[in-house]
Chains A and B, each alone.
Chain A
């Protein structure tokens, strides 16, 4: 078994108005990775490269031990893919699609498929064109899950879903990980979903990966400090201050390198620390993007 289900090394792809800049990324086997970026940041391009749907200009892509795009047929036998811009055949029923997928994948688990049908509240005999957006996403997910893939790649699976459907989808995803050989990559601009279920978090912006680490480490490293400063003091020069707000005596600082030592450093510099708060993943994401666009090092 590979320790990494996916390994990208300096992968680049140039388009007229967008380019993916030498991205490197690895997904440990048995983990869920949340892939976060604004629309147009490069999430879908990266995912398409992983599937061999788009060929990179340079760089190496290994998926489940197979070089992409050359070995895409072998790799895709073990990949389940669901994307927001992917549709099933409108004139055919879900049952027809299940039959079709079953005929292709020897690992298809009919019992699991039927269990998912019930849980997702879907009717197999219904034609795809009669389904709502949420039902279509769940139908696609069912087809991907029931083939028991080693790697699930989901491009914006929860976008546009109602809260009930979203939780059903997230629950189904997390259950996949009961099997330690299986890996999930899912992109989203809903940071709440990522914060809930992912082990690893990757931020992408303007075609570059700006953060890729364990979610716990990431949440741990960021803090908002509410501080009282002397009238003549400026906080911007202090180490690891990514953002600061306020001009009076009471100011807030956001840092991405929080530690008790850093707190001491700030205190020695004369700051009176009144509160130390954790940030949500969304706040961390937004602050990261802003800091990068202002040219600061993360």
Chain B
């Protein structure tokens, strides 16, 4: 199966384009849009679809490969790795990276750990209420 890439790059995002690609591919894999074992767009194809340079996509694929999320077979293309634990792991990684950001912002604002935990609890409570 060949997946049509429906990723998009934001110019105002502030994060490098390769990180945006990594994150969006991870999301698609995590929610099951791109199932394990399926073929993903070639580097050049994705670069053309997104109108960005080949080297940027290459870098994103390289890191995804390094993390074991995709595998690239020479002459055949790139595929989503067949690792069932992956999606859970991806969300864990995602959470960690958000928490890092939170910690950084908290330090900028000069919040103490107690204040930070308090704010986090409030956010969690809010989220639960929205779900109900």
Q: Are both chains from one complex? A: yes
Task: Verify if B37 is at the interface (C-beta below 8 Å from A).
Answer: no
A275 CB to closest chain B CB (Å) equals 7
Interface string of B47-62 (1 = CB under 8 A from A): 1100111111001000
Within 8 Å by CB of B108, from A199, A220, A275, lies A275
Contact A175 B48 (CB under 8 A): yes
Contact B55 A177 (CB under 8 A): no
CA distance A55 to B68 in the complex (A): 51
Task: Verify if A216 is at the interface (C-beta below 8 Å from B).
Answer: yes
B110 CB to closest chain A CB (Å) equals 10
Which residues of the other chain, A, contact B11 by a CB distance below 8 angstroms?
Answer: 192
A211 CB to closest chain B CB (Å) equals 15
Within 8 Å by CB of A215, from B14, B44, B51, B55, lies B55
CA distance A199 to B18 in the complex (A): 12
Which residues of the other chain, B, contact A180 by a CB distance below 8 angstroms?
Answer: 44
Task: Verify if A278 is at the interface (C-beta below 8 Å from B).
Answer: yes
Q: Determine the residue in chain B with the shortest Cβ distance to A176.
A: B48
Q: Which of B21-64 contact A (CB under 8 A)?
A: 44-45, 47-48, 51-56, 59
Within 8 Å by CB of A178, from B15, B16, B48, B55, lies B48
Contact B59 A196 (CB under 8 A): no
Contact B56 A174 (CB under 8 A): no
State which size class the interface on B falls in.
10 to 19
Which residues of the other chain, A, contact B15 by a CB distance below 8 angstroms?
Answer: 278
Which residues of the other chain, A, contact B108 by a CB distance below 8 angstroms?
Answer: 274-275
Task: Verify if A214 is at the interface (C-beta below 8 Å from B).
Answer: yes
Contact B44 A171 (CB under 8 A): no
Q: Determine the residue in chain A with the shortest Cβ distance to B105.
A: A275
The answer to whether A174 and B47 touch (CB under 8 A), given A196-B52, A197-B53, is: yes
Which residues of the other chain, A, contact B47 by a CB distance below 8 angstroms?
Answer: 174, 177
Which residues of the other chain, B, contact A199 by a CB distance below 8 angstroms?
Answer: 53-55
Which residues of the other chain, B, contact A54 by a CB distance below 8 angstroms?
Answer: none
Which residues of the other chain, B, contact A131 by a CB distance below 8 angstroms?
Answer: none
Which residues of the other chain, B, contact A200 by a CB distance below 8 angstroms?
Answer: 55
Contact B48 A174 (CB under 8 A): yes
The answer to whether A177 and B56 touch (CB under 8 A), given A274-B108, A278-B16, is: no
CA distance A97 to B115 in the complex (A): 71
Task: Verify if A32 is at the interface (C-beta below 8 Å from B).
Answer: yes
Contact A196 B48 (CB under 8 A): no
A271 CB to closest chain B CB (Å) equals 15
CB<8 Å pairs between A and B, sample of 26:
A31-B55, A32-B53, A32-B54, A170-B51, A174-B48, A174-B52, A174-B53, A177-B44, A177-B47, A177-B54, A178-B45, A178-B48, A180-B44, A192-B11, A197-B51, A197-B52, A197-B53, A199-B53, A199-B54, A200-B55, A215-B55, A216-B18, A220-B16, A275-B104, A278-B15, A278-B16
Give the top 6 A-B pairs by smallest Cβ distance, nearest first.
Answer: A199-B55, A199-B53, A216-B59, A197-B53, A174-B51, A198-B53
Extra contacts, 17 of them, besides A174-B51, A215-B56 (Cβ < 8 A), are A30-B54, A31-B55, A167-B51, A177-B54, A180-B44, A196-B51, A200-B55, A215-B53, A215-B55, A216-B56, A216-B59, A220-B16, A274-B107, A274-B108, A275-B104, A278-B14, A278-B15
